[in-house]
Every structure is written in C-alpha cells, then in structure tokens.
Amino acid sequence: LTVSQWADEHRMLTSKASSEPGRWRTARVPFAREIMDCLSVTSPLRSVTLMKAGQIAGTEIALNWAGYVMDHAPASMLVVVPTLDVRERWVKQRFDPMLEETPKLAAIFDPKRRRARANSEGIKDYPGGMVIFGGANSPASLASMPIKYSINDEIDSFPWEVGDEGDPLELIRTRQKTFRHRKELNVSTPTIKGASRIEGLYLDGDQRRYHVPCPHCHDLLVLHWSANA
C-alpha cells in the first residue's frame, strides 16, 4: 500500500483545517501523489524535500504520511515545527482533528487511549509506535530516544543553532541513525534565496518539478508565473 492509496481510501478532512471537508482526494492535488508515494514503505528513498508555495497541501501531505504510518506501518515518528508554541497549535488544529475524523485512526486512538497519561500535547502513543511532537527551538524536545521517521514542517523558520546543541536538523537526523530504513520529510516555503534551508535541501536532491500538459500540443512543461500574476 502506498501513502496516496491509503489517503484516498481512509483520510478525512475536517472543516477546521480545510476549505473542502470530506474525503481526501489526491486527484485534487495531483502533484502530491509522487511526493507521498516516495514516503511509502516500498520506496527506497530516505529523504523527501518539498519546497513549495503557501497553502498548497504541504502539511496535509505530512499528515497523510503520519496517518499511513500509524495505521499501516507502525513505528516511532518525530514531528518538528519551528517552536513549542507552534507545536501546540499544530497538534490541536491539524493533528487531533485528523485522528477524530478519520475512522481508521479514531479506532486506534479510542477515547480511553486519548485520555491515557501517555498521550498528551507532546506525544501520541499507540500500538506498535508513537508520534512525538517537538519544537526546533527546544533541544529537549529533539533529544533522547531513537526515531525512525521525521516530519520537519516549515523548516525555513527553524533556527540554525539551538542553544549549545547546534543545528536542530542534525539533532533530528542523529536520532534516526540506527534505522536502516529511516525517512524524513522536509516541507517549507522558501525565504531568502541563498540563505534558505529548504532551498539548500532541494538543491541537494534531484530537483524534480511538477510538469503539466500543454492544452494545445500536450507537451509536458513547468508553469512559470509572471511577477504580477
């Protein structure tokens, strides 16, 4: 099973975080299919970078992967956002509604498990794995136990150094070293050219871009928008 297949079959969007609540449809955001499927257990890739415009499903792609892992391939996962304050909003506004509205995940996180001491704003424990939520500005939330998967959301807002611990991204990767089939997803809108963390990660990869067919000749091409579009 791939991440996009799982999302199309099981993921439900809520009115709290989506303008189109209801069943997730990858066909509505076709560029997301390959990105998600590169995160599937069948893919050999270890690192996926999405440098994107604002509000084009980057966080939803991350949530679909998290849901897929919890239901289909349980393991330890670390979700890192820029700060602990953002973490609180991310969990309450994005992650918890997914658990409540997606039946497959609601069954895993039944009311008794949600009330358990092990489940809180910073950690979600479930059979076979756990999801830990950290802030890039907090070394304590990035340290400790080994992690197989990591989601790094809005990475351009991460500090380049956190306290005396160094680069938060390297702290995250250190936690993953013991896993042969580890994976990371880095998502962000870029900031300053030449000083953007997500741009650097994108340039380190194969720099894929989404191509669409010309309505006239049907050749595949990348859309370029004018400055005043």
Structure tokens at 24: 């997730």
Task: Specify whether the CB–CB gap between 117 and 169 falls below 8 A.
Answer: no
Q: State residue 117's pLDDT score.
A: 54
Q: State residue 114's pLDDT score.
A: 59
Query: Which are the contacts of 103, defined by CB distance < 8 A and separation ≥ 6?
Result: 10, 12
The model carries a pTM of 0.90
DSSP string, the chain: --HHHHHHHH-EE-TTT-SS-EE--GGGSTTHHHHHHTTSTT----EEEEE--TTSSHHHHHHHHHHHHHHHS--EEEEEESSHHHHHHHIIIIIHHHHHH-HHHHHHT-HHHHHSTT-SSSEEEETTEEEEEEETT-HHHH-SS--SEEEEESGGGS-S--TTS--HHHHHHHHHTT-TT-EEEEEE---STTS-HHHHHHHHTT-----EE-TTT--EE-----TT-
Type of residue found at 25: R
10-residue mean pLDDT series, the chain (229 residues): 96 78 91 96 95 88 97 95 90 91 89 60 87 89 86 92 82 90 95 92 93 92 77
Q: State residue 138's pLDDT score.
A: 86
